[in-house]
Structure 1
Amino acid sequence: MNGRPVDIKDVARAADVSVGTVSNVINRPDAVSESTRARVLSAIQQLGYVRSESARQ
């Protein structure tokens, strides 16, 4: 996307969910409904999102 890495905001926008929901799908998948999780995971795959380990706290 525009020559920059895909970030969590891009995934949220593509899946039509909040950044917090994307974070939950990545870190606490049981806290998210199956349909929402599938939508977010699909957006992650389509966009090629890779979590930055340096951004993790």
Structure 2
Amino acid sequence: MEKMIHQNQIPLQIAEQGYACISEHLLESVIFLLERKRVFLPKSLLLCLKWQNSVS
């Protein structure tokens, strides 16, 4: 990543290929929240999680 991402912002960047990339720390936090079912995610973030899961 060329640009630094502030921690108080959502580190969500759309790559040229069309998928979204987020940091591992945020991914872990999102999964934690999803397991507790206390968060609604935007479609772009859900697509990112789907991509992350398909890669790993």
TM-score range, shorter chain: 0.3 to 0.5
Largest Rg, 1 or 2:
2
- From the two aligned structures, give the one with the greater strand fraction: 2
Higher relative contact order (CA 8 A, sep 6+): 1
> When the two structures are superposed, what TM-score results if normalisation uses the length of structure 1?
0.39
- TM-score calculated relative to the size of structure 2: 0.40
